[in-house]
Structure 1
């Protein structure tokens, strides 16, 4: 709209002023605001919120966290992506909720109690385990493991690797061509089948306390070949040296890996005088008497408390060597020899050792082709030994007379709380009577623990006062 001026000219009046003038001229209008009905002041982000969004969006390039207020840290952590590089998050983020998201988005099945109730520990242990299970020697880049060490070394306490892949088998024709090009025919058709060397890794994990290993391939299906399950002597050498250098290791399990006598002796040689090893599991292997004799030496040169040699090929000579060590040992509390073939000669030797041993609490001799002579000797053990709380004689041939002698030996025994005689051919009545005695001992032990609970450790303040 134009308005005349004093010189005859005209000027335009802004629409804003025009509307104000017209509104003022309206006697019935007092106040009116024209705005977008969907617009609201609440939709405008606060400056703090914009800053937090910027931090989250640029966290990978510029990780900012420690300098934020606690409530702002919480908002940033809740929004961070779980796919951020570990080089950014590993040593910066300790928040358990963030690592819980990382775990639950990656794995459907988990038990956090197996990881000390720490989500961060669970993530790094399982992540490292997955890399090792999929590592193919001469194919996978070793830096995948080496670069992870400084990121996970403070959090890994236990490793359970139930698969090690061998190198990819080279086609024989291609290999022949390669050898002919180099003018060498030595080693034709031979392929290195050694697995990944754990030495650099486990010696770089200062808090590693448990190592569970199985050398083999899972779910190989129609691609089955025996060399997929070949734990070589070189593999054993590498592993033995690494375990020796892992001074904080408390539990070592090497199962289902075709460990024979020579490999057992090599392992034992490196485990002698180990400063912290308390549990050794070599079950489901190929250990015979010579390997068992080597383990017998280890029993008295270490701090072993739990020894599992289940499902091997140990006969009476190996059992006698173990019994000799057991008679002098003062640390072992559990011995598992199930599924071997120690027979009565080995069973009697072990029983004789238990007449003097005062530390062993549990022994498993199931499926060892034992018969009445072993039962006769163990009746003396039951009458004299006050330390044993668990015996397993299942799947043997103790016979009716052997069962009666065990029952007689239990007459004054108050310590035994578990006695497995299933399929031991001792007779239903004898098995029932033995069960009644063992049940009474178990109830007496339970009531005793209720009446005399273990003393609670004094707090620091009280101990200073005393």
Structure 2
């Protein structure tokens, strides 16, 4: 009786891969030259995506590989913190939004070619819904040694004309991003260290003009946030000019800028001609006249749901104007007026408004000087109000009795609202 003994005692037929596995490995190895795997069943697609290199060129993978494990690997390889829930649970969306953000944030005018951005657009436009740009770099203006002296002596055209643009020009991009809904911008330079200069935190007039044109062309935009960019009255009016007839804009945030009364008047005009639902103007320089313009628009505005004027200079002139507007406004739900140098007259005017207004749910008056009499007026008004479910009057110099009473009424209103919501839910279920 004869026997054949293999040279490898551990060898067995089980360890030989199936032919299909060899084929899948071949697809992985040759994917850059032949990027096709559409006809594979789902489990085999996963096998390929788990083994493809995250370094493959984007023009190969962008419109070939669907959302899933491959893009998760690409994200985690590139960034330490990856919260996919912030991107609609889409790894592909996260990758392309953050990749485009990085390209824009590192763009240097007259050094970086616009083609770097434009070539990326066909690959990412279907997946980019939000851009959060935390820095925009200015052009390089420094001249060294003899070159600087020569330009100074001759008064060269380059020095007179300056760079072709001051920061990245959004007018070349936004109209191409057909799914963009949110744009967060800050014209600032991050991590500049000892080289800090104030012009590193500044939006220029040219920037403003190009951004305004870009915003007008982006018909899908719903939220615009432009913070910490030294936007003054002139720039605010310029931006508003381009936003007046915007078809989809619903939320506008110009907080932490230098906008005063003239800019506030422009925003008042915007409120009358748009469908804005949220306006955030906190930490600007709006005074009484500017607040009056916003209040005038508010009195006849059927769309605005939230108004934030925290950390401005409204005073009682502005506070009383907004309170008067609340008597005819039936849509505003959230009003924030902290730290605006308001005193008793504003509290009295607001108490009169609260007796009539039935839409306001949130009122924030903290860090004003309402005083004991102002607190009494609000206490009296709250005894007849059943809609306000948040009333912040911390550090307003009201007495303890008024403070406690207002908080009790607020808690009662919260409980009533909760019960009403439960009844509506039960009715929908039944």
TM-score band, normalised by shorter chain: over 0.9
Residues in 2 aligned to 1:454 and 1:89: alpha-carbon distance in whole angstroms: 48
Is 1:155 the counterpart of 2:127? The answer is yes
Gaps of 5+ in 2: none
- 1:131 maps to what in 2? 103
Given candidates 345, 351, 357, the residue that maps to 2:329 is 357
Deviations 1:337-389 (A, max 9, x none): 00000000110011011100000011011000000000011111111111100
Shift of 1:130: 1.0
Deviations 1:150-170 (A, max 9, x none): 000001111110100111232
Per the alignment, do residues 176 and 348 of structure 1 end up closer, same or farther by CA in structure 2, a change over 3 Å counting? same
Shift of 1:31: 2.4
Deviations 1:6-51 (A, max 9, x none): xxxxxxxxxxxxxxxxxxxxxxxx2222321243333433322222
- 2:378 maps to what in 1? 406
User: Could you say which structure has the greater relative contact order, defined with CA pairs below 8 angstroms and 6 or more residues apart?
Assistant: 2
Per the alignment, do residues 200 and 457 of structure 1 end up closer, same or farther by CA in structure 2, a change over 3 Å counting? farther
Shift of 1:95: 3.5
Given candidates 251, 262, 271, the residue that maps to 1:290 is 262
Shift of 1:77: 1.4
Is 1:370 the counterpart of 2:342? The answer is yes
Q: Give matches, 1:149-188, under 5 Å.
A: 149-171=121-143, 173=145, 175-176=147-148, 179=151, 185-186=156-157, 188=159
Residues in 2 aligned to 1:67 and 1:361: alpha-carbon distance in whole angstroms: 53
Residues in 2 aligned to 1:351 and 1:81: alpha-carbon distance in whole angstroms: 61
| Number of residues of Structure 1 aligned to a counterpart in Structure 2 | 428
Given candidates 69, 78, 82, the residue that maps to 1:97 is 69
Per the alignment, do residues 299 and 108 of structure 1 end up closer, same or farther by CA in structure 2, a change over 3 Å counting? same
1:215 touches 1:231 (CA, 8 Å); kept in 2?
yes
Per the alignment, do residues 180 and 334 of structure 1 end up closer, same or farther by CA in structure 2, a change over 3 Å counting? closer
Per the alignment, do residues 292 and 172 of structure 1 end up closer, same or farther by CA in structure 2, a change over 3 Å counting? farther
Deviations 1:288-335 (A, max 9, x none): 000000000000100000000000000000000001111111100100
Which piece of structure 1 moves more, 400-409 or 56-65? Answer: 56-65
- 2:175 maps to what in 1? 203
Per the alignment, do residues 186 and 136 of structure 1 end up closer, same or farther by CA in structure 2, a change over 3 Å counting? closer
The DSSP-based 3-state class of the residue aligned with 1:300 is helix
Which piece of structure 1 moves more, 136-145 or 382-391? Answer: 136-145
Residues in 2 aligned to 1:248 and 1:103: alpha-carbon distance in whole angstroms: 26
- 2:229 maps to what in 1? 257
Residues in 2 aligned to 1:39 and 1:33: alpha-carbon distance in whole angstroms: 13
Deviations 1:193-243 (A, max 9, x none): 600101121110111111110000111111111221221000000000000
Residues in 2 aligned to 1:112 and 1:39: alpha-carbon distance in whole angstroms: 44
Residues in 2 aligned to 1:74 and 1:358: alpha-carbon distance in whole angstroms: 54
Is 1:146 the counterpart of 2:118? The answer is yes
Larger radius of gyration: 1
Deviations 1:390-446 (A, max 9, x none): 100000000001000100011110000000001011122211111000110001100
- 1:309 maps to what in 2? 281
Q: Give matches, 1:43-442, under 5 Å.
A: 43-171=15-143, 173=145, 175-176=147-148, 179=151, 185-186=156-157, 188=159, 191-192=162-163, 194-442=166-414
The DSSP-based 3-state class of the residue aligned with 1:203 is helix
Residues in 2 aligned to 1:180 and 1:445: alpha-carbon distance in whole angstroms: 70
1:172 touches 1:189 (CA, 8 Å); kept in 2?
no
1:268 touches 1:298 (CA, 8 Å); kept in 2?
yes
- 2:3 maps to what in 1? 32
The DSSP-based 3-state class of the residue aligned with 1:285 is coil
Per the alignment, do residues 107 and 434 of structure 1 end up closer, same or farther by CA in structure 2, a change over 3 Å counting? same
1:170 touches 1:191 (CA, 8 Å); kept in 2?
no
- 1:7 maps to what in 2? none
Pairwise CA RMSD: 1.9
Which piece of structure 1 moves more, 288-297 or 125-134? Answer: 125-134
2:366 touches 2:393 (CA, 8 Å); kept in 1?
yes
The DSSP-based 3-state class of the residue aligned with 1:283 is coil
